Structures are given as C-alpha cells and as structure tokens.
A and B are shown apart, each in its own frame.
Chain A
C-alpha cells in the first residue's frame, strides 16, 4: 500500500468508524434461538404431501421428456451423415497452441465474433422473426459459423503481431497486439509482452480492446497448471454490460463459454450464453458441440457432432424445440447453404459483413 492509499484508507476509516454499530450479540442470539424454536414445530404433513406430489410430477416429466431423447432411426441410419473427416492435423494445430499469445488472440477473435451477434442498443426488445423453426435455428447457428470454422480450418488463419510502443497508449499501455483476420485489424493494448514463461502459473492483465472506433476495457486472467489451462476474459461493453469468456483446456477437451451479462445493482444477469466444446478423444475425427441459450430473444438449441469433410461441408446434429435431426452447411458464392435432408428444408444465409 503506497502513501496515497494509506491517506485514503485513514480518511475512510475515520469517517466510517464514526458510526457505532447498534446491533448486539445478544440481539442476534435471541433472534437465532427464536428461529430454532420455529424449526422444531412439526411440519411433516405438508412435507409428506409435497413429497408425493413432487415425486409424481417428476415421474410424469420423465415419461414426457424421455421420448425426445431417443434418436430417430430413420435419421441415424442415413448414410450421408456418416462422414469421417481427416481433420486431426488441422485441428491439432490450434488446440495444441497453448501459447498465451495464440490463446489470447483466439479469445480476442471470438470476443469480436460473439459481440457482433448482439445488437447492443436493442437487446432488451425481443425482435424474433416468425419464420419456420428451421430458419430460426440456422440463423442463430450461422452467427457462430465463423467461430466454429476457424477451429477446424488451419488455412483460415489469423495473424498476430506484437509491437512495443515508443510512447504509452493512453499513458499506460506499452504493448500493442494486432490481430488480423478477414482483412480486419483488431487491436489489444496491454502491458504484457506475451513472452512464454513456463514458471508463471497465474497471469492477470488489463488492457484495451480496440475495434474500429470503439475501445473497451478488457481484463484477462490466465491460469496454467501442467496440461490444464484456464482463461477468463472480460470485455466491458459499457458500464452495465459485460461479455465474459471462460476457456478451459485439457489434453483431450477444450471448452469455451461466452456470456453476455448485464449488471443491475451489482447483480449479474446473463441474457445470452454460448458454450463451445471440442472433444479430441474421439474414435473417428475430433468434433465439436455448441449450445446457445438466449433470453432475449428467447432461444435455446444444442448442436453436436459438428465436423467438416474435405470439401468444407459441415455436418451438424441439432436438438431444438424437442426436435432432433441433422443438417449440412455448404459454402456457396451467395452465402451459406443450410440443408436438412430429412425434412427437405433449405435456407441460404448471406455472410454478414
């Protein structure tokens, strides 16, 4: 604690200590003993009735829910979906890239990608287009397409550059990390050189993420232990809105969790979350899964066994509104073509610029 902090501490303590706490230990003990006596009063009849009703409700729920989780035979036997893709090498390069620079760059990229999904000015107004379920589902999925594709495709690469600045950015940051992707530059200013240090178990840094004309306070916490790494990444979108990214990677699995939160009187409220998990311990090819949950607009879906074949066709199994099935995604000149063969649904979504 430096001298200035001590001065502030003394002043605050002086001010706060002028208040005498009135609550006594005796009052607390009295209230506690009263509460204990109330607990001793018999309540068995209510609890027993509730227990039976609760059990019945649970059993009913299980009976209703179970059929939704039994795979449909006609879809599981569909040969067109049994695709084994030799993507291990491409995949491994990103997954095994546990360097702070690489992982921070990926977190930055994904932050930008996820941020573009949310209309920050109007997220409280639910604007949900009333098209078919398939269209709704694929539209939501398409927002994550770039993120998923990036994990599979090494050629779809980004460039990361670290520069030491001659003069401090905003008077406090010495290093500039430039992430180039898809002809766009994303900048991150911090005081970290991103040089690898094997002895370092925990790293905390603050910085500024600059996207176009906007800049955001950003904090990163990296914990590394043996083969496990945890990264917590927070972008303050404004005083009350935060994007949180938590990444956990182990040898056989890597998981990303993205959350958009709003702060209301210091209480965090998540209104959009996305979980991206990649499983490397697979008999065939590595695959990933994606869960999207949003309260505004109301949407929840799970996408699993996501794989790419050599022709860059993506296969996805979905679970949405009690429906289960598969669709493929092809890259066409006009955009992404989504096709569900079983239902003969088709949707082309133009790439968001």
Chain B
C-alpha cells in the first residue's frame, strides 16, 4: 500500500517538472526571459514552504526574494532533469532556518517592533491562526507542506532530514489536533 503511494507521488512530481520544463531549459541555457513565468508557477509553493517555518508574512517575503536570487546564482549547478522545485524547497528551508538563527541575536525591542507590524498586517486568518496556535512547529510545517503544497510525506522526510515514520507520526498527530479544534471530530 505504501509502495503505491510512493508511485503516485512520483507521478505528481513528474507532472510538475514537465509543466516547468520549458522554463527550466531556458534558464539553464542562460535565457532569463523565462524567469517571470517560472517564478509565477513556483512562488506560492516556495512561499508556503518558508511561511511554514517563519509564520510571518513579511519575513517570508524577504526570504522568498533571497531564495530566488540564490537559485539564480546557483543555476549552473542545477542538472538537466533535476527537480527545480525540490531545489527551491531546500534553498528556501535553509534560508528560513538561518533567519530564525539570526533573529535570536536581534534585540528584544527589534523583535517587539516586528511583532507589532506583523499583527497589523495579519488579518485574522482563522484556521491558519488556529493551526499556528495548536500545532508544534514541526507539525505546522508538515501540515502546510503536505496539505497546501501537496508535497508527499516521503519528500518532506527528505527535506527535513527525518525518517518517514516520524513525519507520518507528526502529521497524524497534527490532523487529530486540527480535527478536534475545527470540530470535525465525532
């Protein structure tokens, strides 16, 4: 049963790669005119991947920009046929985690100012707020990646460097909590 799931998820990935094939080939050949189209097709997935870690709209925008700049700088390293979206996920996750590390060094005042700004821009997003509140950091990240970004559990495990079992465990726990909070539980 698990094997079937893996085969199915691989198909989804291949489809995503095919959709962007033209843009990626152009980018690999140094034709940056296709970047806008590539960005439009991938930005939401990459943005949610960052948001799942930072839980901050404005900061996630900064990291989103940094991610694509880094992606362009490292384009020569991308091989033909390699999953560009996967590559973006790895870059964006590392940059998001770096941002958390750097923020630890900021003064309390800076963090407070930032939180105020964030609150102002953060119009209550009901279930998203709820998920942020009731889920552990890792659970929230997994839920966003799987439910919103439709990333297979196996890929999430690879991205987060954790065994598949742990990811499944955390995902199921998160679903239980959300079901209860949203009122889907019997």
Contacts and interface: CB of A to CB of B under 8 A. Distances in A.
Interface stretch (A19-27, A70-78, A130-138, A174-182): A19-27
State the main secondary structure of chain A at its contact with B.
mixed
Q: Assign chain A's interface to a size class.
A: 35 or more
A266 interface: yes
Interface in B171-186: 175, 178-179, 182, 184
A221 interface: yes
A198 interface: no
Given A221-B164, A221-B165, A25 B175 contact: no
B44 A21 contact: yes
B36 A25 contact: yes
A132 B162 CA distance: 39
A4 B148 contact: no
Interface in B134-170: 136-138, 141, 143-144, 147-148, 160-166, 168-169
Contacts of B111: none
Contact of B101 (A31, A202, A267): A267
A188 B95 CA distance: 38
B115 interface: no
Interface stretch (A9-17, A88-96, A278-286): A9-17
Nearest to B124: A15
B147 to A, nearest CB: 4
Given A8-B182, A16-B48, A28-B65, A220 B165 contact: yes
Nearest to B6: A202
Interface string B53-74: 1000100010011001100110
A221 B163 contact: yes
State the main secondary structure of chain B at its contact with A.
helix
A232 B57 CA distance: 35
Contact of A29 (B35, B168, B182): B35
B26 interface: no
B109 to A, nearest CB: 20
Nearest to B123: A18
A18, A204, A205 — which one has the most chain B CB atoms within 10 A of its CB? A204
B148 A205 contact: no
A18 B169 CA distance: 29
A258 to B, nearest CB: 15
B131 interface: yes
A13 B48 CA distance: 10
B32 interface: yes
A166 interface: no
A268 B179 contact: no
Contact of A23 (B36, B53, B61): B61
20 contacts: A8-B179, A15-B128, A18-B123, A21-B43, A22-B61, A28-B72, A32-B69, A36-B73, A202-B2, A204-B2, A204-B164, A206-B165, A206-B166, A220-B165, A221-B163, A233-B163, A234-B165, A265-B100, A266-B137, A267-B101
Interface of B: 2-3, 32, 35-36, 39-40, 43-44, 47-48, 51, 53, 57, 61, 64-65, 68-69, 72-73, 97, 100-101, 123, 125-128, 131, 136-138, 141, 143-144, 147-148, 160-166, 168-169, 175, 178-179, 182, 184
